[in-house]
Chains A and B, each alone.
Chain A
Amino acid sequence: MFITYLRRELRRRMRQAIFIALGLALGIGLVITVMAASSGVSNSQGTVLHSLYGVGTDVTVTQTPTAGSGGPTRFGFGGGSSGSKPSAGTSFSRNVLTSGGLGALQSSDVTKISSLKDVSATAGALTLTDLKLSGTVNASASGGGSAGGSASGAKSSIKSSSFSVTGVDLANGSLGPLTSGTITSGHNFSSADSTANVAVVDANYAKAENLKTGSTFKVAGTKFTVIGIVSVAQGSSSADVYIPLARAQALASMKNEVNTIYVSAASAADITTVSSEISTALPKATVTTSSDLASEVTGSLSSASSLANNLGKWLAVAVLAAAFGLASLLTVSAVSRRVREFGTLKALGWRNRRILSQIMGEALAIGLIGGAAGVALGFGGAALVQALAPPLTATSAPSGPGGAGGTGAGGPGAGGGFAHAAQSAAHTVSVHLTAPVALSVVLLAVVLAVAGGLVAGSFGGWRAVRLRPADALARVV
């Protein structure tokens, strides 16, 4: 009887039922779409941040370089004593590793941070630039008058090339700059590699330099063997070449020094605590959390993020509230039109509870139909967002780690200027927005549909139960 009555009643009120269900569907569909878009945007943000700082990193610690920092490297001309000037025509070739733009932190700082409460892991890294200069000293630049005939006409021919080198902490492989990449060929470092002259090379750099697994190339004049090619997320700020940290420290003469420390907090809730603990422990260091980074990400990605989080959310809430209100009003008015019916049922001895469950059942059925339609609409909306959304671009502000790079004052001539672009300049990433509909969102939709039905039904039911049967029947006659 319950089902028969419910079905017949819904069929009688078909148009109204469809109207209510559509309202709810619209609200629920919008909620799903907005949540899908919002999670898509945060996925995109995650992609950007991971490509910048590696998966799992909650906090990065860097230090602004002080005068004279950045390693002891100086460009001297080998062969001559420091005071003498090279004669014109002297050919030279120098290959050095410099730590431009970032101040040095001690390895003991890494230990200090890792011993802090709420820190689950730390990894130090040394980001360096391999700078190679070669050429012949120009006659006019020599300043000497002893130029020989043939040598005097020599033109200056100084060639320079550079690539970025990151020394990675092999003991903490789960954290740090390499974690955002995937090894496409060869293999990653193993802990046995810590003092070996082996390198993992970025796929783009490997292509440009025609390097393969097993190839050899030189870092600061030392021959390294490529053991793996790593492909990192699009537009990543990754280095061209990764080598074991100990090797990088040795080649750059920066023993026990790092210039970026990657920190993972015990839980997301601890990030703020961890960041202030680090600031206390290392007062001179720049501590950057992933949310700092997220707020520094500008461009259409951040616009999309605020669109999804603010406008979208409130729009969905408003539409949903309107749908709930509409459903409630229409249910109450439907109950009011059935006053005689319910009065009769009460006269027949139907309990309030039975009448209430009948009304609730009807409202719930409408809610569930609306919910199902809403889920369909939501999937459609999410697909539409995915199809229509233009690729989003994100620009991370240069004030992150290495942000001071461009102003690396007082360093050796090559200091700041040669810091790798990704470390010192604004960095733009283009990502395609996806709008994944999570199961939890679908469940939320079902809950919303049920809630919508219950809200509408309880208004209607309250109206019906409050009705005295005598009044209900009196109204008829």
Chain B
Amino acid sequence: MYQLTGVTRDYQKGRHTVHALDGVDLVIEDGDWLAIQGPTGHGKSTLLQILGALDRPTSGTVLFDGQDLTRLRESQLTQVRATSIGFIFQSFNLIPTLSAQENVETALVPLRVASAERQERALRALTDLGLGDRARHLPSELSGGQQQRVAIARALVKQPTVLLADEPTGNLDEGTRDEIMTLLEQLWDQLRLTLVIVSHDSIVAGRAQRTGLMENGRLTIGTRSTHPIS
């Protein structure tokens, strides 16, 4: 699925150059469930954004399904995001003015899905996650766990191959965290997704197939653990 070689990412912060990624090599197989841990500001999110075709490395190559993302034009990256990659964010990032169903529909807009089919698929995605009766609610009318489910429905409605999550449980209480993690694992298993979750929560990381640790822009991959589900 992914093959990263010598990936660096530098930021200009005032007069200083910050090496957010400092030579990352990483292989992610199809259907992997990888958790990346590490302290804040050590490059976890930067790595996730490069995996998600949201950012380009300063140097190195990022092969995704055999194509080098670093060589693609902006519009091609947009296309990759639209078709293959689902995102989940810490603060859900739902559009506040749109209903749950409409939020899910936004993921199908760049795919030019006709309106009727779009609505139907969005509603089905919500129903699959147990939110069929909340389709017309605005995000502000939903609980944190429900909002994150809407976000998951939005990420999955286009049937991506990769699901990338940035601290997906960071804004949730413990009970909801476990509920969401269980849901993500079920989906990963059912849909044969490649799941990459960035989290500093060791309980979340502990459920992963593989874990990596980002420190000072360098990634150390732990050994493949045996997972209860796999």
Residues in A lying within 8 Å of B, measured CB to CB: 1, 4-5, 8-9, 11-12, 340-341, 343-352, 354, 468-470, 473-474, 476-477
Contact = CB atoms under 8 A, between A and B. Distances in A.
Contacts of B79: 349
A473 B54 contact: yes
A464 to B, nearest CB: 14
Looking at A9, A344, A352, the one whose CB has the most chain B CB atoms below 10 A away is A344
A474 B93 contact: no
Given A4-B98, A5-B98, A477-B45, A348 B54 contact: no
Contacts of B118: 1
Contact of A349 (B82, B91, B95): B82
Nearest to B86: A348
30 contacts: A1-B102, A1-B109, A4-B98, A5-B95, A5-B98, A5-B102, A12-B96, A340-B91, A341-B95, A344-B93, A346-B54, A346-B78, A346-B81, A348-B81, A348-B82, A348-B106, A348-B109, A349-B78, A349-B111, A350-B78, A350-B82, A350-B110, A352-B74, A469-B49, A470-B49, A473-B45, A476-B89, A476-B90, A477-B89, A477-B167
B91 A476 contact: yes
A9 B97 contact: yes
Given A349-B82, A350-B82, 18 more contacts: A5-B97, A11-B97, A340-B91, A341-B95, A341-B96, A347-B54, A347-B81, A349-B78, A350-B78, A350-B109, A350-B110, A469-B49, A473-B49, A473-B93, A474-B45, A476-B93, A477-B89, A477-B166
A1 B55 contact: no
A5 B154 CA distance: 16
B107 interface: yes
Interface in B167-187: 167
A205 B166 CA distance: 96
A125 to B, nearest CB: 74
- For the residues of B in contact with A, the DSSP-based class is helix
B12 interface: no
Nearest to B56: A470
A9 B166 CA distance: 27
Nearest to A1: B109
A351 B54 contact: no
Contact of A354 (B109, B115, B166): B109
Contacts of B111: 349
B38 interface: no
Nearest to B102: A4
A344 B75 CA distance: 16
A346 B93 CA distance: 12
A348 B87 contact: yes
Contacts of A469: 49, 54-55
B97 A12 contact: yes
Interface string B12-38: 000000000000000000000000000
Contacts of A345: 95, 106
B83 interface: yes
Nearest to B92: A344
B158 to A, nearest CB: 8
Interface residues of B, number: 35
Task: Give the top 10 A-B pairs by smallest Cβ distance, nearest first.
Answer: A349-B82, A8-B97, A470-B55, A349-B110, A344-B93, A349-B81, A470-B49, A469-B54, A470-B54, A347-B87
A351 B102 contact: no
A44 B164 CA distance: 73
Given A348-B81, A349-B78, A474-B45, A340 B110 contact: no
Contacts of B102: 1, 4-5
Contacts of A8: 97-98
Nearest to A11: B97
A352 B82 CA distance: 13
A1 B106 contact: yes
Looking at B46, B102, B109, the one whose CB has the most chain A CB atoms below 10 A away is B109
A341 B90 CA distance: 14
A474 B118 CA distance: 29
B96 A349 contact: no
Contact of A340 (B52, B87, B93): B93
A200 B89 CA distance: 91
A8 B101 CA distance: 14
B104 to A, nearest CB: 10
A343 to B, nearest CB: 8
B168 to A, nearest CB: 12
A354 B54 CA distance: 17
Looking at A4, A346, A348, the one whose CB has the most chain B CB atoms below 10 A away is A348
Contacts of B49: 469-470, 473-474
Nearest to A13: B97
Contacts of B52: 347
Contacts of A9: 97
Looking at B52, B83, B97, B109, the one whose CB has the most chain A CB atoms below 10 A away is B97
Contacts of B110: 348-351, 354
A31 to B, nearest CB: 33
Contacts of B105: 1
A347 B167 CA distance: 16
Contacts of A1: 102, 105-106, 109, 115, 118
A396 B26 CA distance: 91
Nearest to B83: A349
A232 B150 CA distance: 79
B199 to A, nearest CB: 12
